[in-house]
Amino acid sequence: MKTLNEVVEIVGFSRRVIQEYEDEGLAIKPNNTNKYGHLQYDNNALERLWQLRFYKELGYDKKKIKSIMEASNYDKKKELEKVIDSLEKEKEKLDNLIGIAQMMKETGISFSALRFGIKELEDTNFDEISSMLGAMFTIFKPTADEEINFEEALTEEDLDALFAAFEKIMNLCEKGMDISSEEVQCQIALMHEITSKKLSKSIMVFLWTSLCLSPDSEMATEIDKDYGKGKAAYFYNALQHYCSVNADNEADKEFNTALENIAELGMKKYTTSSDEVQSEVKKLYHFYNGISVLSEKAKLGMLRNMAQLYGSRAYINAFDNGADKGISWFISRAITIYCDRLEKGL
Could you tell me which residues are beta bridge partners of residue 173? none
| Segment-wise mean pLDDT, segments of 10 residues, the chain, 346 residues | 88 91 89 84 90 86 82 71 80 77 68 55 59 64 50 81 96 96 97 88 85 79 93 93 90 93 95 97 92 83 86 80 88 96 79
Fold of 4-70: Multidrug-efflux Transporter Regulator; Chain: A; Domain 2 (1.10.1660)
Rg (CA), the chain: 28
pTM score, whole prediction:
0.65
Spatial separation of the C-alpha atoms in residues 24 and 304, rounded to whole Å = 51
pLDDT at 144: 41
Helix or strand holding residue 253 (H, E)? helix 250-267
In the chain, domain spans: 4-70, 76-138, 150-247, 251-345
C-alpha torsion 264→267→271→273, nearest 10: 30
pLDDT at 281: 97
pLDDT at 106: 63
Spatial separation of the C-alpha atoms in residues 149 and 271, rounded to whole Å = 39
Per CATH, is 150-247 categorized as 1.10.490? Answer: yes
pLDDT at 187: 97
pLDDT at 143: 45
pLDDT at 215: 74
pLDDT at 56: 87
pLDDT at 208: 78
Q: What amino acid is encoded at 16 in this protein?
A: R
pLDDT at 270: 95
pLDDT at 109: 65
